[in-house]
Chain A
Amino acid sequence: MDTADLRALHRLMVVARRLDEEAIAMQRQGALPGYAPAKGQEAAQVGSAAALDLSRDFAFPGYRDLGAAVAMGVDLVGYMASHHNVWHGGLYDAKASRLAPFNAVVAGPVTHAVGWALGAKLDDTGGAAITYFGDGASSEGDVHEAMNFAGVYRLPVVFFCQNNGWAISVPTREQVAGGSVAARAAGYGIEGHRVDGNDVLAVFEATRAALDRARDGGGPTVIEAMTYRMGPHSTSDDPGRYRTLAEEQEWSERDPLAVAARQLSAEDVAAAEEHAAAVVREVREGLLALEARPVEELFSFTYREPTKALLEQQRVWEESLDA
């Protein structure tokens, strides 16, 4: 997206929201083993990912960044296959999609983004990396190591923190000393900005500015998008045990979809819903049609050049099938 186009951003957010709701429904129907709902964080995810240049940038998501996958045009059945327990990392082509396979180690990929950004700088492609992490992950040592490393080498990377108020059951005030992840940037000598994470245009503009700065040799930026996880941490979590309905109510009035919709016509909103419904139908059908991968694939991807021992284990396994 070259310029902030609210209608297009809203359309993407609605797809993310409706797909998110569908995933929760499928989990309750027993069709999806588990899921980490992203409801409430669509503006942060869509606004930032839409600012990327997919011809040269690369994104490193966490496990609650469906909106980024939607905005980047990733094959959503392939993306959801990870939640569907078909393949850790999904069935889409991570390299071609410019979206790394997500994994459950929070903050692990933050250092990968720094390495990727270093690679881009060495190759002089003008590419930048964005890494998604939460307020909880910001406590991990890897985030410090990554920001310090990127600051030392002035690398083209955007540290995009979605501060959604809760790291499972622990609120930000008990998680982030000093109260702000963006404020930490100053200590690394890099730019740090807080942005309203429920305002998709504000997020887009802040991310676009950070990416432009990165490409121009201005180094890394920390963006702290203040948002809220409207749903549970995962489909097996019970937020009622740690937060109040009043707080949830307060944030629901700032629902990023509603914020955007207020600036659009009723026709635009209706068209977005219609489009999202079609996407959800397609993804649902695709997911239900997904079959378990052939068991041989257990052996296919561990190594580029498998060890003899592994090939032997595969041979014995195949023999056991015939027995």
Chain B
Amino acid sequence: MPELSLQQALNLALQHACEDDDRVLVFGQDVGTLGGVFRVTDGLREKFGERRVFDTPLAESAIMGTAVGLAMHGWRPVPEIQFDGFSYPAVDQIVNQVARMHFRSRGALPMPITLRLPSFGGIRAPEHHGESLEALFAHVPGLKVVSPSTPSEGYHLLRQAIADPDPVIFMEPKSRYWHRESFDPTEPVPAVPPGTSRVAREGEHATLIAWGAMVSRCLQVAELAAEDGVELEVVDLRWLKPIDVDGLAASVAKTRRAVVVHEAPLTAGLGAEVSALVTERCFADLRAPVQRVTGFDVPYPSGALEDEYLPSVDRILLAIQTTLEYRRG
């Protein structure tokens, strides 16, 4: 059983996607010769040639705009934008073009584009290298959004995203690129179509809901809580659009308490949507309001303040305590 990092697992997923479908194209800034700044595309140009794996000029809007044209021509583009914070110049293309072309053309021009986006914080990076944009993209009709939490999740979700006939924003948790896991990517697993979550740990007292890098933090919290006899269920949401409401409801019906954890700022973050969905579906089951543990409503800070900004083990434990002790009026 090979041990793979998330970076290697994603690299393998791209390799297999290119092998299985010769319409798949991998392109973006520095993805060719260099193999990507995180080496996710390492070796792909040697394997598939510069026709299918190529560097682009430093132009995010053109990267997404050419992806639109390539998809119109029948290709299956898998562009990379180098960092979350640099996707803003491409938001016009993503929102006004990628997300709407299928609708505008009444289905004549599908957009099977997977945008790979190194995302979230946690690596002491410079400014604009630690953004969490899931709420922005999940709000856009026509897009699907997904974020993996582990190497095996990364492998299978990226394969799924590339196979999907609609545009998918694939948010790679960059702080987990070097986290390793033993798994065999060739081993068949249940499909992970849009809107499937997974229970990363079973528990009965409360449900922690997270995605990307926050899943491992929640698992860490669950370990600590178990020492005090509190059994926490951890749901890895995976797909941020569409959200697996049934999966969340099944968990919350059992535990009757929910805490959402994300790196993005609190206000209008995706936690608000998760909270609303859980409340709509599980109002009678809930024993406490859905809690949110998130970043603050401030710009993503410098490395020296990063640990204060990101949801910490202590902040998550506090939210769990609040939900467990909650009493009506």
Give the interface of A toward B (CB within 8 A). Answer: 58, 87-89, 91, 93-96, 100-101, 103, 105, 108-120, 122-123, 129, 141-142, 145-146, 148-149, 152, 297, 300-305, 307-310
Flag B58-84 by CB within 8 Å of A: 1 or 0 each: 010110111111111111010000000
Q: Which of B51, B106, B164, B195 is A122 in contact with, Cβ under 8 Å?
A: B51
A149–B66 CB distance below 8 A: yes
Question: Please, could you name 29 A-B residue pairs with CB atoms under 8 Å apart, sorted by A?
Answer: A89-B105, A91-B106, A95-B108, A103-B100, A105-B92, A105-B97, A108-B96, A111-B61, A111-B62, A111-B65, A111-B69, A112-B97, A116-B70, A119-B73, A119-B75, A122-B51, A122-B75, A142-B92, A145-B59, A149-B59, A149-B66, A301-B107, A303-B142, A304-B102, A304-B112, A305-B164, A305-B165, A307-B241, A309-B245
Q: Which of A88, A95, A96, A142 contacts B62 (CB 8 A)?
A: A142
The reply to whether B57 and A148 form a contact with Cβ atoms under 8 Å apart is yes
Q: How far is the CB of A95 from chain B (nearest CB, A)?
A: 4
CB <8 Å contact, B166 and A304? yes
Residues of B within 8 A of A148 (CB): 57, 59, 62
Across the interface, name the chain B residue whose C-beta is closest to A151: B57
Of A96, A115, A297, the contact of B66 (CB 8 Å cutoff):
A115
Tell which of B108, B142, B144, B195 has the most Cβ of chain A within 10 Å.
Answer: B108
Instruction: Specify which of B25, B68, B73 is in contact with A111 (CB 8 Å cutoff).
Output: B68
B69:A149 contact, CB within 8 angstroms: no
Q: Are B195 and A108 in contact (CB under 8 A)?
A: no
The CA of A122 and the CA of B26, in the complex, are separated in Å by: 13
* Contact yes or no, A301 B102, CB < 8 A: yes
B79 to chain A, nearest CB (A): 10
Within 8 A of A (CB), among B30-74: 51-52, 56-57, 59, 61-62, 64-74
Contacts of A105 in B (CB 8 A): 92, 96-97
Nearest B residue (CB) for A117: B69
Q: Is B65 touching A301 in the complex (CB atoms < 8 A)?
A: no
Contact status A302-B57, CB under 8 Å: no
Taking CB atoms, residues of chain B closer than 8 Å to A58 are: 72-73
Q: Tell me how many residue pairs across A and B have CB atoms closer than 8 Å.
A: 152
Return the 9 tightest CB-CB contacts between A and B, nearest first.
A115-B69, A111-B65, A119-B73, A115-B66, A89-B104, A145-B62, A307-B242, A116-B69, A304-B165
The size of the chain B interface, using a CB distance under 8 A, is: 50
B197 contacts across to A, CB distance below 8 A:
none
Identify the interface centre among B52, B57, B69, B101: most chain A CB within 10 Å of its CB.
B69
CB neighbours (8 Å) of A88 from chain B are 103-104
Give Cα A95–Cα B105 distance, bound, in whole angstroms.
8
CB-based contact A111/B93 at 8 Å: yes
* Interface presence of B110 (CB below 8 A): yes
Contact of A308 with B245 in the complex, beta carbons under 8 Å: yes
Query: A310 vs B141: C-alpha distance in the bound complex, in angstroms?
Result: 9
Considering only CB atoms, which chain A residue lies closest to B110 in the complex? A304
Q: Which of B101-130 contact A (CB under 8 A)?
A: 101-110, 112
- Nearest opposing residue in chain A for B105, CB measure: A94
Instruction: Determine whether B194 belongs to the interface, using a CB cutoff of 8 Å to chain A.
Output: yes
Question: Do A87 and B96 have beta carbons less than 8 Å apart?
Answer: no
